[in-house]
Amino acid sequence: MSVDDFAAMPEQTVAWDGVRNYQARNFMRNQMDVGDPVFFYQSCCAQPGIIGLAQVSQLAYPDITQFDPQSKYYDPKATQQTPRWFNVDVKLVKRTRLVTIKELRQYPELEKMRILQIGNRLSITPVDPAEWKFILEIL
């Protein structure tokens, strides 16, 4: 989903569904609380990077796409009683300028940021408060 798609959603709120990585699922399920700020990070595009600010608007709950055989996110091992995948709802706060991965890598203040580590394949990772503050300053 693009930030424009996000902005067009009713109340600019959407379920952050389709996550199929256990570590990313655990971050959402176990560490995100209502009101937590998040960067809207676009990853499936020519220029991956931060393009907006959002906040968690609903705690983690079972991702309904895992139960739908017509969904590309269907998981035949998931059941209503034992769901495997969870999502949170997020609400768009504002669109920002695009801060690309290439730009983020230029700043020594962000050298330990998880999303910038070699081999990282997750777009859902915790952000250190100092990193968060720094990125807000460059947006």
What CATH number did the domain enclosing 88 receive? 3.10.590.10
Q: Residues 48-93: pLDDT tens digits?
A: 899 999 999 999 999 999 999 999 999 999 999 999 999 999 999 9
pLDDT of 46 higher than 90: no
Percent of the chain with pLDDT over 70: 100
117 falls within a domain: no
* Residue scoring higher pLDDT (124 or 35): 35
Question: How many domains are there within the chain?
Answer: 1
Contacts of 117 (CB under 8 A, 6+ apart): none
129 falls within a domain: no
The SS3 of residue 4 is helix
Contacts of 70 (CB under 8 A, 6+ apart): none
